Amino acid sequence: MYKFASTARVTSSFSLILLLITSSFADRKHADVDDIGNRKINGKVAKVFPNFVSLEKEIQIGAQYAHQIEKSSRLIDDPVVNEYIDSLAQTIVRHSDAKVPFVVRVVDTEEVNAFALPGGFFYVNKGLILESDTESELAGVMAHEIAHVSARHASERITKGQLIQFAALPALFIGGYWTQVAIRQGLGLGLSLSVLGITRKSEEEADQLGTQYMWNTGIDPNGFIAFFEKLEAKEKNKPGKFSSFFRTHPPVEKRIVKVQEEISFLPLKDEYLVTTSKFNDVKARLVAMDNKLVRPGAATSSKGRKRPSLKRKTSSNRSERDKPTLKSDRPTLKRRDSDSDEENPDR
């Protein structure tokens, strides 16, 4: 009798867990990870309207902002650093849902952050590279930003703002003076709340998609969690050190839980890439450049290089990419072949 009761409780508990897992799967967006690169992740704005901004217009908007940024910011002018960061970014892009090619730059600032403009103009801060302990930590933040561009979050916010303004036009013409004043004030408040709401949603979506892109690239998605846990611990010990990063990103506690949940849904792989000797070399090179021990563009010795923590399969039949620029000869987006999904691209 006791054994039967115990079995019944176990069965009941198992059924409850199974129900919760099934419910989570049912509510999960972008579950079709085997179709990354060929799926449509951009839904309707406000569940009804299409995105008013074309991809071509999105690239134009991004290029305008990128021009301003590059006029006012100091960029790293070192081919070794730039080629490594560009290669890592392009590898993730090829294993993402991105529909635009990416232009990648490294900004010479100690602030720990990265940001991607509409249309694929991507900026990685030197401080982010130096703060990362492994390539997978760096790739986690980069994949998150690539996900924002893939999901077209910026143009969706532009469309949502236009819709709110359009909805208020009839009332502005019909109502009296005080009605118009009230609507204009409410419209401003509504726009602000709308943008904040969309930003919170887009951050969650970028976390999910970024985790999937790391998995699809063969990079350990737990590096994403490790980086946020480290920053959170350091911020508590020295408040304000990472204010720039936390100012542009939501609190990490819930994000960590969500990313862990997403990782649990992903199909298991035999191995993941954690870090490489190239990553260690680039970090050391940046430190040496800061200490005036190495000039940008100068060669460095490869003596004492650490071996990567994981050997990867490579493919030798990929042609060399042109270095991307902000000019009209932007790079074309190269998608991986469907029959090579199980191989990690050569960087």
Identify residue 36 by its one-letter amino acid code: I
From CA 134, how far away is CA 2, in angstroms rounded? 52
The pair phi, psi for residue 329, each rounded to 5°, is -85, 55
- The pLDDT score that the predictor gives to residue 120 is 94
- The pLDDT score that the predictor gives to residue 187 is 37
Residue 329 lies in a domain: yes
Cα→Cα distances 337→36, 130, 290, 345, Å? 12, 33, 40, 11
Question: Total structural domains in the chain?
Answer: 1
Q: Quickly list DSSP for 309-327.
A: SS-----S-PPPPPPP-SS
Residue 226 lies in a domain: yes
Identify residue 45 by its one-letter amino acid code: V
Between 344 and 118, the more confident residue is 118
What 3-state class would DSSP assign to 293?
A: coil
Which helix H or strand E contains 121, and what residues bound it? strand 121-125
Q: Does the pLDDT at position 297 exceed 80?
A: no
Residue 11 lies in a domain: no
Count other Cβ atoms within 10 Å, centred on residue 38: 10
Q: Does the pLDDT at position 188 exceed 60?
A: no
Q: Does the pLDDT at position 174 exceed 60?
A: no
Domain that includes residue 261, residue range:
35-162+206-340
Q: Are 146 and 102 in contact (CB under 8 A)?
A: yes
Dig out the tokens for 122 from the structure.
Answer: 């991507």
Residue 150 lies in a domain: yes
- The pLDDT score that the predictor gives to residue 217 is 98
pLDDT tier, 26 (very low <50, low <70, confident <90, very high otherwise): low
**Nearest CA among 345, 347, 330 for reference residue 120:** 330
From CA 138, how far away is CA 134, in angstroms rounded? 7
Residue 19 lies in a domain: no
What is the pTM (predicted TM-score) of this model?
0.70
Place of tokens 């737990």: 222
Residue 181 lies in a domain: no
Q: What dihedral do alpha carbons 60, 62, 67, 69 form, nearest 10°? A: 170
pLDDT averaged over every residue in the chain: 74
Residue 308 lies in a domain: yes
Q: Are 101 and 332 in contact (CB under 8 A)?
A: yes
Burial of 284 per CB tally in 10 Å (0-12, 13-18, 19+): middle
Q: Which of 19-33, 40-54, 70-84, 100-114 has the weakest average pLDDT?
A: 19-33
pLDDT tier, 78 (very low <50, low <70, confident <90, very high otherwise): very high
- The pLDDT score that the predictor gives to residue 180 is 41
- The pLDDT score that the predictor gives to residue 38 is 94
- The pLDDT score that the predictor gives to residue 54 is 85
Residue 245 lies in a domain: yes
